[in-house]
Amino acid sequence: MPLAKVDVVVLGAGIVGVSAALHLQARGRSVAIVDRSGAAASETSYGNTGIIQAEAVFPYTFPRKLGEIALAALNRDPRAHIRYSALPSIAPWLWRYFLASSPQNRIAIANAARPLNAAALPEHRAFAKAAGAEALLRDEGWIKVYRSERGRQAALAEIEELRPFGVASRVLDRAELAAMEPHLTEAAAGGVHFSEPATTSDPGALVKAYAALFRERGGRLLNGDARTLTTAADGWSVATAEGTLAAREAVVALGAWSSDVLVPLGYRFPLGVKRGYHMHYGAKGDAALSRPVLDAEYGYVLTPMTRGIRLTTGAEFARRDDKPSSAHLDRLEPVARTLFPLAERRQSEPWLGRRPCLPDMMPIIGPAPRHKSLWLDFGHHHLGLTLGPMSGRLLAEMMTGEKPSLDPRPFSAARFG
């Protein structure tokens, strides 16, 4: 006898799953979320950089120039870190990532993904307002800082590339940068201010607030292992700590763990993982930051968060379940100390998150190709916090037969055959 029967079970309570659940609920569906932690935002959605990147256009691509590849391969590019012992396992995925990163693809992906990125911020604002969580959002944008003339030239080139996409940005000289962020050191030669994106002082708290809204509206968040998902006579069933849940439809929103459920159902999507770390620090004296600052030449970000200044790293290429390593953070921390007067570490160990990445750096949003009542919403790479709410809208529109607010075809699972 099932514990309960709902219209939809959403597997995964990160930003992507919670957002899909809220949008389905708003369309009259009874919804339960199942997560193995029994809580929202217990993995990657908890500890990210907190930028709602409305300005995002171009995907993070695999380097294509020989010199850049060599630097990355030798772990000499601080923006990424390779765990060599993982290479035999992750090489096939890296190869697909390399192939998908051609200059032509980069432009095609930018054009295909832009409508989703551009619609992200209003969706967050609507959730945050309804959840009473607007205080967690800031409107000061974020700054990409450069240290050298080479960095400045790269920033100017990027702005030119972004111009046709209507992205608002302003180049800052040293004095303008100092006026906005007076505690950055002289190492910061200038920057680019992206004013449009909102940022959050606590991404985990933001997602938990959205999940609380889902509960207030009658939704249930249950503790359970999504790998127990099985087909039933009229849909799906999944085991939870409170008993078996039956659902007419199921949504896989398990981020980096989505394949754990999909492989047994016969789907082999090329889902890779770019891992990333964070550490919180105090600040010396009265030093403070007003917004996230990306050190462009080193690829880490310093963000003012409720727990202190959060340093987030770029990509670590490792197996999803490899033990955490402090190598990448240890390499970046001294560099960060030359940019801003960081004080003591506030955690004993770095936090580890897993960005779920498909080779083309676009999510899958839509129906599963071979199961009528199975839906997919995963692979949100570097932008899951940004894209979760809008992806949830798009998915819910497809599931309920509404006219989609934007063309869902670029995000179809069918692109992987």
Ligand X SMILES: Cc1cc2nc3c(=O)[nH]c(=O)nc-3n(C[C@H](O)[C@H](O)[C@H](O)COP(=O)(O)OP(=O)(O)OC[C@H]3O[C@@H](n4cnc5c(N)ncnc54)[C@H](O)[C@@H]3O)c2cc1C
**Which residues of the chain form contacts with ligand X (CB under 6 A)?**
12-17, 34-37, 42-45, 48-51, 53, 225-227, 253-257, 260, 276, 278, 312, 353, 355-356, 378, 380-386
Round to the nearest angstrom and report the end-to-end CA distance of the chain: 38
CB of 104 to ligand X, least distance (A): 25
Structure tokens at 162: 């972004």
Question: What are the residues facing 275 on neighbouring strands?
Answer: 316, 354
Q: Tell me, what DSSP letter sits at residue 403?
A: P
What beta strand segments (E) does 36-71 contain?
51-52
CB of 164 to ligand X, least distance (A): 22
Q: Based on CB atoms, which residue is closest to ligand X, 227 or 337? A: 227
State the DSSP H helix or E strand holding residue 15, giving kind and residue range, or none if neither: helix 15-26
Q: Based on CB atoms, which residue is closest to ligand X, 101 or 199? A: 199
CB of 26 to ligand X, least distance (A): 18
CB of 63 to ligand X, least distance (A): 20
What beta strand segments (E) does 258-413 contain?
272-283, 293-295, 300-305, 308-312, 315-317, 342-345, 351-357, 364-367, 374-378
Q: From residue 84, how far is each of 87, 294, 319, 321 by CA, in Å?
A: 5, 26, 10, 15
- Dihedrals phi, psi of 66, to nearest 5 degrees: -55, -45
Q: Based on CB atoms, which residue is closest to ligand X, 48 or 101? A: 48
CB of 40 to ligand X, least distance (A): 7
Q: Based on CB atoms, which residue is closest to ligand X, 152 or 278? A: 278
CA distance 3 to 75: 51
Q: Based on CB atoms, which residue is closest to ligand X, 81 or 152? A: 81
Q: Based on CB atoms, which residue is closest to ligand X, 101 or 312? A: 312
